[in-house]
Each structure stands twice: as C-alpha cells, then as structure tokens.
Structure 1
Amino acid sequence: MVVIKYLLPALAAANLALAADCGGDGTIKISSQGDADGYSSCKKLKGDVEIDGKARDTITLNGVKEIEGSFKAESATNLTELSAPSLESIGDKFELDGLTILSKLSMGSLTSVGSIKWQALPNLQTLDFGKSVSKADKVEITNTALTNLDGISLDNIGDLTITENRYLKSVNLDGLTKSTGLINFAGNLNSLEVELPKLISGSNMTFRNVSNVSVPSLHNLTGQLGFWGDGFKIFSAPNLTESSDLTFIGNKEARNISMPKLEYVNGGFHISKNDKLKSVEFPELKKVTGAVDFSGKFDEASLPSLDTVKGGFNMQSTGNFSCEPFKKMNKNQVIHGKFKCVGETKNPKTKSGESGTSDSSGTSTGSSSSSTSSGAAVVDNVANMPAMGMAAIFGYLLQYAM
C-alpha cells in the first residue's frame, strides 16, 4: 500500500508531463481547437507548427509566446479565424496559403518573424496585429483582400513583394530605413499609394500599377529603380544621388520626374511612353555607365552636368527641343557609344527600335545587348533586371507589347 501511495502521484505527474509536451524535432500538427488547447501550458513550442488542412472554424493558440521553427497553415479551406494572442515571435517562416474563407488573423503580441509568405487569402481584409511586426527578413503577400498593411511596421527588410492584392489602397512603412533585397509592387489596386518616408538606402525597387510612390529620404540604391504603367503625375526623389538602372516606361499620367541631386547611374537610364511628360531635366547627373535612352513627347531636355556616358545615347521626341548640347557632348567624346538625337519626329523610337510613345506601336529592330560598351541600355535586357520577380518582368514586357 505504501508503494501504491507514492506510485500513483508519480504516474499522474508523468502523464501531465506527456500532456504538456512542447514539441521537439518533429512537426506539431493541429487539426482542431482541442489539439491547440493541448499546448496552452507551453510558453515555447520547439520545432515547426502546422495547422492541418482539416482544421475548421476558429483555431486559437493560447498561452504560447514563442514558436522556434515555422508556423504554417495550408489548404485549410474551412478555417475562418486564426489567432494566437500571446505569440511574440516566430523563429522561421510564417506561411499561410489557400485559406480561402479566412477572414480574421489576430496576433496582437507578434513583433518578430523570420519571414512572411501569405498567398491566396481572398477574404482576409484586415490584420489584427496590435504591436505590429517590426522584424522580418522577407515579406511576400499575394492575392489577399487586404486594404492596407497596418500591423506590419518594419525597420529593415530583405525582399518585400506585394502583388495581386486587388483591394490594397495604401501601404505606409513609416519605420523602414533600409532594404537589402527587392521591393516589388505589382498588380495591386491601381489607386494604391506607397509611402516609404524614412527609407534611406536600398537595392532593387520596382513599381507597377501604383498611383503614388513617396521616397523623400531615399539617398542611394545599389540596384535598379523601375516604374511601369503607374498612375502618378509627379515622382520625386529629392535626395537620391545614385542608383543602378533607372527605368520609367508607360507612366501615362506622369508630368514631372524630379531627381535634382542625382549624380550617378551605374547602368542604363531609360525613359519612354510617358506621353504627358514635357520635360526631362537632371541638373546634377554626371555619369551613366550604361546608355541614356529617352524617347517620348517632351519639349525640353537638359543634362548640363553630364560628362560621361559609357554606353550609347538615344534621344528622340515629337517635341521641339534642341539637340545641339548633346551633339557637342558627342563631339567631345562624352558619349562612348552610338549617338542619335532627333526632335520633332512623328515616330520617336527607343534605342532598341520600339515606339517611344503609347499611341504608336512602332517596330522592333532587334534586341539590345547587355554590354554597356556596345552602347545598349542595360535595362533593355530582361536578363539584366536583377531579382525583379516574374510579376515585374511581365510588367516590363507588357509595356513593350502595347
């Protein structure tokens, strides 16, 4: 009897320990609220956590503050709400895919994740992230019903990919100061406004189908800055001094492109099919290592500080501007590649032979080389668009097909 007296409590304690297993090397799978409740005494879950496709209605992960691995939910087509009120960090990936009726995502304490990848969430309209996610290496959000990204407020980011969110009206990342990968916006609501007020440095940035891009603090980019089919009237980067390839194609409402401090383009500089743009003026631009390729309907063209163009130079417009300053540059060997400058032409062409305006299809005369020494603009070669992503590449090709 004495043995039983001490054995029973020991067995009960062992059962409790088993019930409170907080994971290990394997994946914790949750198919029901009962499964989730089994981990409510765990402050930390080791390994990965996966919401099973069989999960339905509401799943709430109570008590858990940290997931060491990934947190995933895929093809749970009957799941309407997912919440984790105490969760503060996810060590690896936070992935949601194919949750077609999910309408509420609530994680009021979450501030840190390894990366975010959400796709095919057509009923998710808002994020209930009270403290906001401030740390993530990569963020990819595709095909949701989100109207804004409130609840995501990053300090630094690698890749930021926001595509095919047809209700997205505004993105304001007011804490973001640095990006080391690709920032890509494409295929969202046409009236989308993107504000990056404190972004100082970045790598590649591409924008398609946005109505406004605000980068007042941007100083330098190691990669390209590209705009395709955007609806803004004015683009201003008042503090930008250097970039790799610069591209403005098919922004039909653009009336002003202002980069008053731009000095150095490490690649090609391409402007075409911006039919309301009447002036191309870059007063401090000194060096372009690729080609200068401007075509359209502008009446003024001014590059007074330009002293080196390692590629070719193509400037063609329907407008009445003077080619004399550029002919002088060519004569003085400022321009190392092939030179062409034509004003008052009915059919202005890009360097590759495409139409320089949106209301004339033009005829291609062949693809351009990627070599700056040949005079070709680097941005005319899709292979030279570093890490743009398929959506951005498609946008680039579509503009030339129009």
Structure 2
Amino acid sequence: MSAIKYILPVLAAGRLALAVSCNDTVTISSQSDADDYASCTTIRADVTLSESISGDISLSGIEQITGSLSCTGASNLTSLTAASLNTIGDKFTLNGLTTLSALTMADLTSVGSIDWEALPNLQTLSFTAGVSTADSVIITNTGLTTLDGISLETVGEFSITDNTALTTVNVNELKNATSLINFAGNDNSLEVDFPNLGTGTNMTFRNVSSVLVPSLTTLSGELGFWGNTFKKFSAPNLTTTGDLVFDDNPDLTNISMPVLTTVNGGFEIIVNDKLSVISFPDLETVTGAVDFSGEFDTVSLPSLKEVKGGFNVQSTGNFTCSAFKSLRAAGAIKGTYTCKANAADPTTSDGSSGTGSSSNTTSTSSASATSSGAAVANLVANVPAMGAAAVFGALMQFAL
C-alpha cells in the first residue's frame, strides 16, 4: 500500500504531461483546455476547437501552429482571440460559427490557406499585422464589410462569394495570383481594387459596382464580367488575356483596353444595352471566336489580323460590314461568318437574344491554337453585342 501512494501521483503527472503535449493533435472544448497549452509557443500538430465550445475563447501564448486551426459547427462560440499567433502552417478553417462576432489575431501574418464559411455575425477582422502569405483565400457567407487585415502579396485562389454586407475590397500589396480570383453574390455596391496586381490566371466578377486593375498586364486565363453595375471598365496596361467576356452588364457604357493585342480564347460582348461603342485599337489576334451582339453602334478593330474561330456580329445599330467581309475574304476569319446591321432581333452565335436581360447566360468559350492570318488595317464598323454561349457554339463547330 505504501508504494501505491507514490506511484499514483507519478501516473497522474504522466497523464497531465501527455495532455499538454505540444507535438500531438490538440482538441479544445473550453477555455480551461486552451489554458493548458499556454506554455506551448509552437504546436507541431493540428488544433481543433470542438463543436461544443462556447463563449469567448483565447489561445494565449501560442505563436505558431504548424498544422491546421479549425472550428466547425460551434454555434455558441462568440469570439476567438490568439494574441501571439503569427503562423498557421496549414488550413485556417471556420465553418458554421453563427454567433462569432470577433476574430482577433493581431500578429497573424502567414497561413497555409483560409477557408471561412457561414459566419454571419463576423463583420470585421482584427488582424493588425495583416495576413501577407496564403496559398488560397475562400470566404463565403460572412457578415464582413471589408477584408481589411488580409494584405496578400501573392495568392493562389481568391474567392469571395455571398458576403452580402461586403462593400469594399482593397488588396494593395497583391502582385500575382496563380489561380482563380472570383467575386460573386456580395453586396451590389461592392468596389474591388487591386492597384498593384500585375499578372494572374482567371478573374471573374459578378454583381460588383467597380473593378480597378490599373497595373494588370497579363492573364493566362479568362477575364469575365456578368451582371455588374459599373458604368466603365478600364485595363490600361493589359496586353494579353484568355477568354474575354462582358455579358449582361446593364449600365456599362465604356470599355477601355487600349493596348490589348491578344485574346487567347473567345471574345464575347453581349447584352450590354448601354454600350454604344466598342473599340480595341491594338487587338490583333483572337484564337477563339468573336461574338458581339446588342444595341451598340460602333465597333473599331483597326489592328485585327486573325480570328481563329467563328465571327458573329449583330446589332440594332446602323453600321457597315464591309471591313469584316474583307477579313473573311482574306482568310483571316477561319470559322463561320455572320454580320448583320439594323437587326430587329440580334442574336448570339447560338441563337440566344443579344439584347435585354439574359443574366443566366454563361460563358463556356474555349481557346484554340494561334496561327498567322492576313493583316487588315483600319477595321472600323458599327456593330452589335451578343451572347456568351455564341462563342462556345462557334468554337465547337470550328475547332482547328
């Protein structure tokens, strides 16, 4: 019996040591659990806040988590603070935290990725240092009004959707995006500003009131706009993009891309009823199809040399097709050719209406290889705008 009284405390101490190991997966169900890890400057594992956790939780003392930090379904968690945390090596996942109203991580600068969903009461981020490194950022259905505190320099995917209170996004330091940038379903007054973004892959925008990309020079994938409320769009330094789509932007009156030379894919301008002039002075090559349909009066493509796919231009406006006919005759337009002025019902290349509301139209244009074509100078015409699906149809018929 006398030996037992010495053994039991040793066993208990052993269990306690195991419970606060800084190298094993951590599950936190209460503030008391969190306090047990205050001595762990670095946790070399995943940290999970359990679904049952509630109230205000503070992760004190922890500076680095080499694994992930996650919390899913904790509907009674009201705030999460990690005052010293600067690095999350893997995913930072928050999902279904319906009462979370404060997220405070003043020193956080680096995460593997951000994946937040269903945080309706989270309106602001208290990220004083600013998150400058993340492989991807996906934020869906939150109460955020801005993304201040996310100060990325480079990112993979950047997808911001269904945040109905979000009115401004300004990522000043972002220079390169290696995957999709996507905005959809946020507040209709959302203004998006990427002042230093130079290169990227795909960029798609829906339901935004302003998009500023003054430094953008090259996109390897699609640049697409659907159902936005801005009046003007400018990309003053963009020279090359993949598919280029302007579809059902009812207030759009001006598109300015003065140095764009190449569209590596389909080029669609459809159902933009206030757009009267289309001008791309340096555009030389479209490796997919051209599909313009609507109510505009002028199209100026003076440098155009080759359209690898089909060509469909229809408008209610009065214009001449002679310059486009010359391109066709010279073999510069490889696919089917349609050009109609004063059209009572201009259509896209797949037969959809090219005017009025058609917000459900989707772009599925694909690119084909570029080949040299006949040079045609001073190509100016007054033409229509048409549908996104048109390009797809033309490309499918005339893949080369």
**TM-score where L is the length of structure 1:** 0.87
Cα deviation 1:90-115 (Å, max 9, x = unaligned)? 00000000000000010010000000
How far residue 371 of structure 1 moved from its aligned partner, in angstroms, is: 7.7
Alignment equivalent of 1:120, drawn from 118, 121, 129: 118
Matched letter for residue 330 of structure 2? N
Q: How does 1:153-164 map to 2 (within 5 A)?
A: 153-164=151-162
Q: Which residue of 2 aligns with 1:306?
A: 304
Q: Where in structure 1 do 4 or more consecutive aligned residues deviate above 3 Å?
A: 6-20, 367-373, 376-382
Q: Which residue of 1 aligns with 2:147?
A: 149
Alpha-carbon distance in structure 1 between the residues aligned to 2:140 and 2:367: 35
Alpha-carbon distance in structure 1 between the residues aligned to 2:390 and 2:342: 25
* Residues 352 and 368 in structure 1, CA contact (< 8 A), matched pair in contact too: no
Structure 1: stretches of 5+ with no match in the other structure: 1-5, 385-402
- Number of residues of Structure 1 aligned to a counterpart in Structure 2: 371
Task: Note closer, same or farther for the CA distance 1:378–1:334 as it changes in structure 2 (3 Å cut).
Answer: farther
* Residues 221 and 242 in structure 1, CA contact (< 8 A), matched pair in contact too: yes
> Percent identity among equivalent residues?
56
Alignment equivalent of 1:58, drawn from 56, 59, 64: 56
* Residues 279 and 301 in structure 2, CA contact (< 8 A), matched pair in contact too: yes
Alpha-carbon distance in structure 1 between the residues aligned to 2:42 and 2:241: 44
Structure 2: stretches of 5+ with no match in the other structure: 1-5, 370-386, 396-400
How far residue 9 of structure 1 moved from its aligned partner, in angstroms, is: 11
Q: Which residue of 2 aligns with 1:91?
A: 89
* Residues 209 and 230 in structure 2, CA contact (< 8 A), matched pair in contact too: yes
Q: Which residue of 1 aligns with 2:253?
A: 255
Task: Establish whether residue 110 from structure 1 lines up as the match of residue 118 from structure 2.
Answer: no
How far residue 322 of structure 1 moved from its aligned partner, in angstroms, is: 2.1
Q: Which residue of 2 aligns with 1:23?
A: 23
Cα deviation 1:191-225 (Å, max 9, x = unaligned)? 00000010000000000000000000000000000
Task: Note closer, same or farther for the CA distance 1:60–1:326 as it changes in structure 2 (3 Å cut).
Answer: same
Alpha-carbon distance in structure 2 between the residues aligned to 1:273 and 1:372: 25
Q: Which residue of 2 aligns with 1:209?
A: 207
Alpha-carbon distance in structure 2 between the residues aligned to 1:95 and 1:305: 49
User: What SS does structure 2 have at the residue aligned with 1:120?
Assistant: strand
Task: Note closer, same or farther for the CA distance 1:204–1:121 as it changes in structure 2 (3 Å cut).
Answer: same
User: What SS does structure 1 have at the residue aligned with 2:145?
Assistant: coil
Alignment equivalent of 1:284, drawn from 252, 266, 282: 282
* Residues 51 and 75 in structure 2, CA contact (< 8 A), matched pair in contact too: yes
Alpha-carbon distance in structure 2 between the residues aligned to 1:11 and 1:94: 35
* Residues 287 and 307 in structure 1, CA contact (< 8 A), matched pair in contact too: yes
Q: Which residue of 1 aligns with 2:314?
A: 316
Task: Note closer, same or farther for the CA distance 1:171–1:313 as it changes in structure 2 (3 Å cut).
Answer: same
* Residues 347 and 360 in structure 1, CA contact (< 8 A), matched pair in contact too: no
Matched letter for residue 22 of structure 2? C
Task: Note closer, same or farther for the CA distance 1:372–1:312 as it changes in structure 2 (3 Å cut).
Answer: farther
Alignment equivalent of 2:224, drawn from 211, 220, 226: 226
Cα deviation 1:315-350 (Å, max 9, x = unaligned)? 111111221111111111111111111111111111
Alpha-carbon distance in structure 1 between the residues aligned to 2:133 and 2:388: 37
Task: Note closer, same or farther for the CA distance 1:369–1:51 as it changes in structure 2 (3 Å cut).
Answer: closer
Task: Note closer, same or farther for the CA distance 1:289–1:114 as it changes in structure 2 (3 Å cut).
Answer: same
Alpha-carbon distance in structure 1 between the residues aligned to 2:28 and 2:392: 47
Cα deviation 1:28-69 (Å, max 9, x = unaligned)? 100000000000011001110000011000110000000010
Q: Which residue of 2 aligns with 1:331?
A: 329
Matched letter for residue 181 of structure 2? I
Alpha-carbon distance in structure 1 between the residues aligned to 2:99 and 2:255: 42
How far residue 23 of structure 1 moved from its aligned partner, in angstroms, is: 3.1
User: What SS does structure 2 have at the residue aligned with 1:326?
Assistant: helix
Q: Which residue of 2 aligns with 1:70?
A: 68
Cα deviation 1:263-282 (Å, max 9, x = unaligned)? 00110000000000000110
How far residue 246 of structure 1 moved from its aligned partner, in angstroms, is: 0.3
Q: Which residue of 2 aligns with 1:393?
A: none
Task: Note closer, same or farther for the CA distance 1:369–1:212 as it changes in structure 2 (3 Å cut).
Answer: closer
* Residues 23 and 47 in structure 1, CA contact (< 8 A), matched pair in contact too: yes
How far residue 11 of structure 1 moved from its aligned partner, in angstroms, is: 8.9
* Residues 162 and 185 in structure 2, CA contact (< 8 A), matched pair in contact too: yes
Alpha-carbon distance in structure 2 between the residues aligned to 1:211 and 1:173: 17
Alpha-carbon distance in structure 2 between the residues aligned to 1:71 and 1:99: 14
Alpha-carbon distance in structure 1 between the residues aligned to 2:294 and 2:260: 21
Matched letter for residue 300 of structure 2? S
User: What SS does structure 1 have at the residue aligned with 2:133?
Assistant: coil
Alpha-carbon distance in structure 2 between the residues aligned to 1:348 and 1:163: 33
Q: Which residue of 2 aligns with 1:36?
A: 34
* Residues 193 and 213 in structure 1, CA contact (< 8 A), matched pair in contact too: yes
Q: Which residue of 1 aligns with 2:295?
A: 297
Alpha-carbon distance in structure 1 between the residues aligned to 2:69 and 2:364: 45
Task: Note closer, same or farther for the CA distance 1:143–1:360 as it changes in structure 2 (3 Å cut).
Answer: closer
Alpha-carbon distance in structure 1 between the residues aligned to 2:392 and 2:325: 27
* Residues 269 and 379 in structure 1, CA contact (< 8 A), matched pair in contact too: no
Q: Which residue of 2 aligns with 1:245?
A: 243
User: What SS does structure 2 have at the residue aligned with 1:327?
Assistant: helix
Matched letter for residue 181 of structure 1? S
Task: Note closer, same or farther for the CA distance 1:9–1:360 as it changes in structure 2 (3 Å cut).
Answer: closer
